[in-house]
Amino acid sequence: MLPGRQGGSACTGEDEHLVREAEKIAVALGRMFPGLCEVVLHDLRRPEHAIRVIENNLSDRQIGDSATELGLARIADPAYPGVIQNYPNRFPDGRPAKSTSIGIKNAAGEYIAALCLNLDISVLSPVTLTLSNLVATDSEHRDRPLETLRDRTARELREVVEEWCARRAATPRSLSREDKKALVRQLRRDGYFDSREAARTIADLLGVSRATVYNYAK
């Protein structure tokens, strides 16, 4: 059990009310996408027995199972991103999934719950294969796009950085120097430095100077 989660505001009636309201949302979402999207509500006040609701159980977890890495990261850091959206995931049997995790805070700014959606994309495989053949491009220029057809917005950049960090159960500022360098180089390869404000946005997210960002990008 992580310390400090059972006392103070974490166990107030207001917190319990929020979690119960989130339960209704989890059940409703699950019943809207039967057999396709697993919906899990984690009670982060009790990380060792976090799962409170699981609809369309596709991962073979049970009520009372422990929190995931994302849940533990939110417990440890109230500044952890509130929404991590559309990140790649995988069910225990190997099926690919697309996941979204939504943190729920109380009035004190503490994460008390997380609502997670895991979409089974394996059922879309036949359609995906047909479409992938239809939209496939030559491999000659895949490593570096020849052009960017639209500006990369600051919001899109933040989403990419947060998703990259979420796969490592970290926040942008908590990344090691080597991970920050790897992230910046990946962003450069993907064309995010084409925007004039990209370096400033990345620097703010990582908690470093713009000069450091340019140095990492070399």
Task: Look at residue 165 in the predicted model and tell me its pLDDT.
Answer: 86
Task: Look at residue 149 in the predicted model and tell me its pLDDT.
Answer: 40
Compute and round to an integer the Cα radius of gyration of the chain: 20
Task: Give the closest residue to 177 by CA, choosing from 215, 130, 124, 133.
Answer: 215
Task: Look at residue 154 in the predicted model and tell me its pLDDT.
Answer: 74
Contact 112, 106 (CB under 8 A): yes
Cβ-based burial of 121 (10 A; exposed 0-12, middle 13-18, buried ≥19): middle
Q: What is the pTM of this model?
A: 0.56
Task: Look at residue 199 in the predicted model and tell me its pLDDT.
Answer: 87
Residues in the chain: 218
Cα–chain center distance at 27? 21
Alpha carbon distance 58, 100 (integer Å): 15
pLDDT by residue for the chain (218 residues), tens only, comes to: 344 444 444 458 899 999 999 999 999 999 999 988 999 999 999 999 999 999 999 999 999 999 999 999 999 999 999 999 999 999 988 888 999 999 999 999 999 999 999 999 887 656 656 666 676 665 554 555 444 444 456 778 888 888 888 888 888 888 999 999 999 998 888 888 777 788 888 998 899 998 999 899 88
